[in-house]
Structure 1
């Protein structure tokens, strides 16, 4: 009699890093030819656990080195706990638990959450990575998602029609230390939308459809740079992580040679201890050169490969690209091409980053920034500032958007000459940049107009720095006008609305005499005069209001 396993096969679909275009792993999908095996697995935890074991064994038969993603229903984990048979199957396949990501699949309704969280904690202690699948399209409570603290969050591509939701999920992922993945990407516009909304990984038919043979080569459309990070510390190393080739620290040199010669795409091997912590790093070229030398194989083949390795270079998963470059810069030049191991909070290896990927991304970022700089002040234009404003809006953060210009600038140019005018603009821009602290960002729109994005608590010292300075051009005193709109969460939908709120404040500031500053709140009528003399006020008086704040 034919067993249900006889009509079952598995397909593999790549998960793609949208920054590097490389494959970060393979999701293993059960494909029964007949019957309702998957529907039964949803109801029968033992069957679902058996499917997970068969998925790992199917991957072992294909001899792929890529990390694996295995689907398990949430109810199965709550019912069966640690999935001991799966752990045994991973070990028998010669894989390490941290090379396997468990995609926790909904439904979550009626699943006992304490039991689920206990099971996930046990699996994480064993080394498995955890992915929350079906988020945004399933029934995963937000509170449970936070409690799970997954390594990955997978969203359905249908949410790309609501980019604000995807951006908000990216913000939550950043807080949880998770990567954001979009599933079901089928078109290039969807891919571009995923990258624009902040997704770091993706999978779908656009890159490669599910197939019986694991695919390492995928189609990735040419895409522009993703969202610029909020700070200037550089993009996160998470965006560049590639799968690591791992072997036990006890592996022989012949075992390493077999892996390298059979996998030309592997640039190096990390030797890890039983906990998955990198102990030695074996560089492909240096290792094979040693093995291919005279008597090399005879000398080293049966000896521990660790003797031909180097101390590993490691960074944490929260490191930035610039911090990786700092690590690479330490040591001899012969190791500049070594992979850098990325480790989690327990020191376990979760992948590697390559210097070429970092240099390429940082160079593209620098070129993009340089192209948008104003040639007079070397400050970014309005697009850079408004883009950051949009990210703060999506993240639900309060911020202040300010506009500043030089009063009667045409008269400055006419009276003192354009060279003096240019010098004054450069000086004002430099003063703004010097006064900008923390997350404040300064942009030069053009002419004598500047934009400043800042936290509300940084407004007073910034305003004092530029408004109290004794400005002059050609020996004649010059004053500045500053207008600020405070934007609380929900008060504006995007940077266009914040700019619209700023326009009447700018007009009000320009109507005042002397150095002026007015502050308003998005969505509220009226404004507060912080500096400047109203046109009808007696000379020598100044309108002073309360300190601007967020309360």
Structure 2
């Protein structure tokens, strides 16, 4: 009992000492802010920095986790948060007017009676910043109990130009509800989903779903905790918008840029993603737009609109950077109100501009911009989209132009795609093959062909034959999705012939997966019948249990110096070998620019009837 009493007294004594240290820390303002970069996974540019708080060195309160946990327990969370926010804003130096400062906020802080917009705004002005430079990052430190109240508070800040991020998505139990209720501008993915994503298919599928989810909502995804190049590569190829982690930059007192090597790594891999789909960029749709300095009188802009009746809107700039948008209808609606002209005529244009217009970089895919634009509030649905080049004003694109472009792209794709499977046709296949050969990287080509399909089609009819072709396409696509990499390609040459191109390091596994999926499901197309032979194209009877699949796997060690004709010749030889072998099978051979003579006939690498399916 005496030992227990001593332990309790000791714990109470430690607690008192920590409380006194915390009070002294608040009084002396003895904390510091460090800044970790958040980087675009499109071009390697720094979007902004997350401000992180550190207590005194060699103190039990040095860690932000310990510091804020104790403050919450002692009822001192509000004053600590105000001090941390003030210090973060007062110490930061953003490298451009477009960069953003991410400030962590617990949901509880929004209930602080002293959490007033004017205080934060005054701090920003002292540093030459605006609300557009700040993102309030709602953390999972405590759950949100009253979403309606929280949404009302955050909407108040949004109207001033602040942005909102939901932190730790995928970790906290209420993060999905917070996303649904609060409509954030950014979703930060917890590092538990990011760590090892390149070797964990479950995490990969979850993140792919989140990318699609974010695109449909018109928000940006930020992957936290990136620590390896493999993780960075995977996330970039998956289309995740931004990244943060020790690999990209550690928290430091001075905000840092990305290294040239990592920037090039990101740019090269994102280029592969964009080229795999031949996606148009918004810069191609951009047209010159009139701009006005933020301090231009409203009267000057109104007179411009009167003289240029076809002008939809104008961009407000500070230097070469766009900071707002004025749409014609909205300006005249403002002036048409009671006392409108007397109130606004001589005021600067930045007093009534939209401080949160849609601003995108020139290399952003048009499809992505279309989703962002059409997910805006109904009042802003037809506003111009501002296009920048490295943060500087480039031009604008109208919603009409963007939607017309999307319609044309879909129509063009439909023209060259297979009407039966919806897969890319020969035009796109040739483009993809030439692109890979030009890049000179290692990749594999898989040619797939059904055996005895003509006999099956004659016996069961065209409708059943079409279903078998669609089934074959599904087998190849599913295998590519599971055993391939994000920028792999599947095309439909025509009839029962398919092609796949993959950068996986193990194409043999990919072929095995395709054959296993095919052999498992093909019998469902004729299970009511029982026969021991089929007929070849010439009507000759062949002993067989049914339709099989032949694959020709051509591994290109390097695309440089290799021609499409060489690949075609090798694949034709392999295809002939595989068709001569009874059952589902693939034959494999390698090709490179040094190859001058055809290799000896390889042995079949997999026979469907002998595999453990």
Residues 491 and 522 in structure 1, CA contact (< 8 A), matched pair in contact too = no
CA RMSD of aligned residues (A): 3.4
1:307 offset after TM fit, Å? Answer: 3.1
Residue of 551, 555, 558 corresponding to 1:486: 555
In 2: Cα distance, 1:261 partner to 1:484 partner? 66
Is 1:411 equivalent to 2:461 in the alignment?
Answer: no
Match for residue 327 of structure 1?
A: 372
- The structure that is helix-richer by fraction is 2
Match for residue 338 of structure 1?
A: 383
1:352 offset after TM fit, Å? Answer: 2.2
Match for residue 250 of structure 1?
A: 295
Match for residue 286 of structure 2?
A: 241
| Cα deviation digits, residues 245-285 of structure 1 (max 9, x gap) | 222111111121233334445432121224x3332210123
In 2: Cα distance, 1:458 partner to 1:367 partner? 36
Change (3 A) 1:360 1:496: farther
Report 1:55-204 matches (<5 A).
none
Residue of 439, 446, 455 corresponding to 1:395: 439
Match for residue 140 of structure 1?
A: none
Provide TM-score, normalisation by structure 2.
Answer: 0.46
Match for residue 427 of structure 1?
A: 471
In 2: Cα distance, 1:387 partner to 1:232 partner? 11
In 1: Cα distance, 2:337 partner to 2:474 partner? 59
1:420 offset after TM fit, Å? Answer: 3.1
Change (3 A) 1:279 1:515: same
In 2: Cα distance, 1:297 partner to 1:279 partner? 24
Change (3 A) 1:246 1:364: same
Is 1:261 equivalent to 2:277 in the alignment?
Answer: no
Match for residue 490 of structure 2?
A: 442
In 2: Cα distance, 1:234 partner to 1:288 partner? 38
In 2: Cα distance, 1:287 partner to 1:461 partner? 62
Q: Match of 1:393, SS?
A: helix
Report 1:512-531 matches (<5 A).
512-523=581-592, 524=595, 525-526=598-599, 528-531=602-605
Q: Match of 1:230, SS?
A: helix
Please identify the structure whose Cα radius of gyration is greater. Answer: 2
Change (3 A) 1:541 1:468: closer
Change (3 A) 1:503 1:233: closer
Change (3 A) 1:330 1:307: farther
In 1: Cα distance, 2:453 partner to 2:267 partner? 48
Report 1:274-313 matches (<5 A).
274=319, 276-291=320-335, 296-310=340-354, 311-313=356-358
Residues 246 and 271 in structure 1, CA contact (< 8 A), matched pair in contact too = yes
Residues 276 and 432 in structure 2, CA contact (< 8 A), matched pair in contact too = no
In 1: Cα distance, 2:277 partner to 2:491 partner? 15
Provide TM-score, normalisation by structure 1.
Answer: 0.51
Is 1:507 equivalent to 2:576 in the alignment?
Answer: yes
Unaligned runs of 5+ in 2: 1-263, 528-544
1:435 offset after TM fit, Å? Answer: 2.2
In 2: Cα distance, 1:252 partner to 1:436 partner? 59
Residues 233 and 320 in structure 1, CA contact (< 8 A), matched pair in contact too = no
Q: Match of 1:450, SS?
A: strand
Is 1:474 equivalent to 2:526 in the alignment?
Answer: yes
1:364 offset after TM fit, Å? Answer: 0.9
Change (3 A) 1:435 1:506: same
In 2: Cα distance, 1:238 partner to 1:530 partner? 50
Change (3 A) 1:414 1:293: same
In 2: Cα distance, 1:238 partner to 1:416 partner? 52
Change (3 A) 1:452 1:500: same
Unaligned runs of 5+ in 1: 1-173, 179-197, 199-227, 534-538, 543-551
Match for residue 463 of structure 1?
A: 511
1:293 offset after TM fit, Å? Answer: 6.2
Match for residue 549 of structure 1?
A: none
In 2: Cα distance, 1:422 partner to 1:458 partner? 31
| Cα deviation digits, residues 98-141 of structure 1 (max 9, x gap) | xxxxxxxxxxxxxxxxxxxxxxxxxxxxxxxxxxxxxxxxxxxx
Residues 515 and 531 in structure 1, CA contact (< 8 A), matched pair in contact too = no
Residues 480 and 515 in structure 1, CA contact (< 8 A), matched pair in contact too = yes
1:521 offset after TM fit, Å? Answer: 2.8
Number of residue pairs matched?
315
Change (3 A) 1:489 1:258: same
Change (3 A) 1:354 1:177: farther
Residue of 382, 385, 408 corresponding to 1:364: 408
In 2: Cα distance, 1:175 partner to 1:390 partner? 22
